[in-house]
């Protein structure tokens, strides 16, 4: 077991992980990633001005009547970063640590994520400052509907199409869709959101899409690095939707899942953890708390030590800014597959590049979720729905093409994969903005 490193952490319910206490601006980190790529391709000042900053930032106050009759006011955000290539696309998260800086960064990454995998959509993100675990089902529904109603003019199948994110789910998307539909005559208008239940126009394959897209990238990266997945070990930080599916799908590829974690701790076993057993445990107990008393695993004293375990593949699937200049020197994985958004800071990137750690960047690695969201949106617009096999085939093609394009760019410019992904994406967004021109 890795020796614990003393650090200060603060609790966080997002995918269940503590976050390093030193404040680092996620949006500033995103801009640094942009600047590195823009400098290499010599982006002109006018091009930078057109695509770098968010186009629209909205903050709303949401008064909600609670079950006890009192009124509580919540704060909500929606940021549209760029719509040059299509309607804004991005999730809505419910979390007590939501803040404008985070939402701006996430909307930024969404713009370039969509461009990286070649889908005709822009970037947006939303959030509400709330711990949904403290709300009743009725309070959660009223908050969800109020959020959508307050910004109803922003949303629409051709304007802005939300999706689930941290602590939101298909049921909340159903409330979003119904709220929008009721504002427009009570019609059935499913294309306004994605990630819906199958019964309301959701897509096959959506629930596992983020992790499945990551696995398609890991397979291609392993081929490039000449790694054998059936002999590879994996550690996964975060055991929410993405992390749990990542464990299941990678185990099906022959990988040994040696460590998993959530808000209630990190658990390790050199012999391997059975993903199905862990998923069943979480379904029953709502978290991994006490998992070491029901399975042959060891609980780490500090959950952050999971990141430093001697595994072949590390999968951050929790929060931003998890791998920093502080702990990057102790990262031992050969490959990092970013299922989370922004898990590595620019300072960490510099250190990991010198260590020759192969990083599959977030705007490529976890784009499977928005990829299948796009496919859901297309199906809603057509009124014709595909089988899971059809969806998986399209997702596989989408991710493999994107990975090949980014890897080729990385080798051409002799830059890390993250910078290469931004080069690919920036060129596509900048070209679209130039072709559209300025309306005056």
Q: Which residues are catalytic?
A: 125
How, if at all, do strands 233-237 and 56-65 pair? unpaired
Cα separations in angstroms, 341 against 145, 247, 268: 26, 18, 24
The Cα 132–Cα 4 span in angstroms is: 32
Q: Which of these, 63, 71, 90, 68, lies nearest to 79 by C-alpha position?
A: 90
The H or E element that residue 20 is part of is: strand 19-20
d(CA 192, CA 157): 5
Structure tokens, 93: 């998260």
Residues pairing with 82 in the sheet:
123
Where does 63-136 have alpha helices with state H? 100-117
**Strand locations in 250-381, DSSP E?**
256-262, 265-268, 298-299, 313-316, 335-337, 358-360
Sign of CA dihedral 208, 210, 216, 222: negative
Point out the annotated binding site for NAD(+): 210, 241
- Provide the β-strand partners of residue 62: 74
Measured distance CA(34)–CA(299) in Å, rounded: 38
3-state SS class at 158: coil
User: Could you write out the DSSP letters of every residue in 317-345?
Assistant: -S-SS-B-TTTGGG---SEEE--SSS-B-
Residues contributing to the annotated binding site for substrate:
89, 113, 373
Strand order in the sheet with 122-129: 56-65, 71-82, 122-129, 88-95, 160-164
Per-position b or e across 284-298, b if 16+ CB within 10 A of its CB: eeeebbebbeeeebe
Q: How many residues in total does the chain contain?
A: 440
Tokens matching residue 308:
């430093």
From the list 117, 130, 108, the residue with the least C-alpha distance to 64 is: 130
Nearest to 5 by CA among 320, 327, 402: 327
């Amino acid at each position: 077991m890795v020796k614990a490193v003393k650090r200060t952490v603060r609790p966080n319910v997002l995918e269940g992980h503590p976050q390093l206490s030193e404040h680092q601006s996620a949006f500033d980190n995103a801009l640094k990633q942009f600047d590195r790529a823009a400098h290499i391709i010599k982006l002109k000042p006018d091009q930078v001005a057109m695509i770098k900053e968010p186009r629209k930032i909205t903050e709303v106050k949401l008064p909600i009547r609670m079950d006890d009759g009192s009124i509580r006011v919540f704060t909500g955000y929606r940021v549209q970063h760029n719509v040059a290539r299509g309607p804004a696309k991005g999730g809505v998260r419910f979390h007590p640590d939501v803040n404008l800086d985070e939402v701006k960064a996430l909307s930024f990454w969404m713009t370039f994520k969509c461009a990286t995998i070649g889908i005709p959509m822009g970037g947006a993100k939303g959030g509400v400052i709330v711990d949904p675990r403290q709300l009743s089902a009725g309070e959660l529904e009223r908050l969800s509907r109020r959020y959508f109603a307050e910004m109803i003019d922003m949303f629409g199948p051709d304007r802005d199409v939300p999706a689930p994110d941290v602590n939101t789910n298909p049921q909340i998307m159903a409330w979003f869709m119904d709220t929008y539909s009721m504002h427009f005559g009570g019609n059935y208008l499913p294309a306004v959101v994605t990630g819906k239940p199958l019964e309301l126009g959701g897509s096959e394959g959506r629930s596992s899409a983020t992790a499945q897209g990551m696995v398609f990238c890991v397979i291609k990266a392993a081929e490039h690095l000449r790694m054998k997945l059936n002999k590879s070990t994996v550690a996964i930080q975060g055991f929410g939707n993405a992390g749990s599916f990542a464990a299941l799908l990678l185990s099906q590829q022959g990988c040994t899942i040696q460590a998993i974690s959530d808000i209630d701790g990190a658990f390790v076993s050199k012999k391997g953890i059975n993903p199905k057993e862990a998923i069943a445990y979480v379904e029953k107990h709502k978290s991994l708390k006490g998992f070491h008393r029901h399975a042959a695993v060891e609980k780490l004293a500090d959950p952050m030590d999971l990141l430093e375990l001697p595994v072949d593949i590390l999968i951050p699937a929790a929060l931003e800014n998890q791998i920093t200049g502080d702990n990057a020197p102790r990262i031992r994985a050969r490959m990092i597959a970013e299922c989370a958004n922004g898990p590595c800071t620019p300072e960490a990137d510099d250190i990991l590049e010198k260590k020759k750690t192969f990083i599959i960047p977030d705007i490529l690695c976890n784009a499977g979720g928005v990829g299948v969201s796009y496919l859901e949106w297309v199906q809603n617009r057509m009124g014709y729905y595909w089988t899971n096999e059809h969806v998986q085939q399209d997702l596989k093609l989408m991710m493999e093409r994107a990975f090949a394009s980014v890897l080729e760019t990385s080798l051409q410019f002799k830059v890390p994969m993250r910078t290469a992904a931004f080069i690919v994406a920036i060129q596509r967004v900048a070209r679209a903005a130039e072709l559209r021109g300025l309306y005056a």
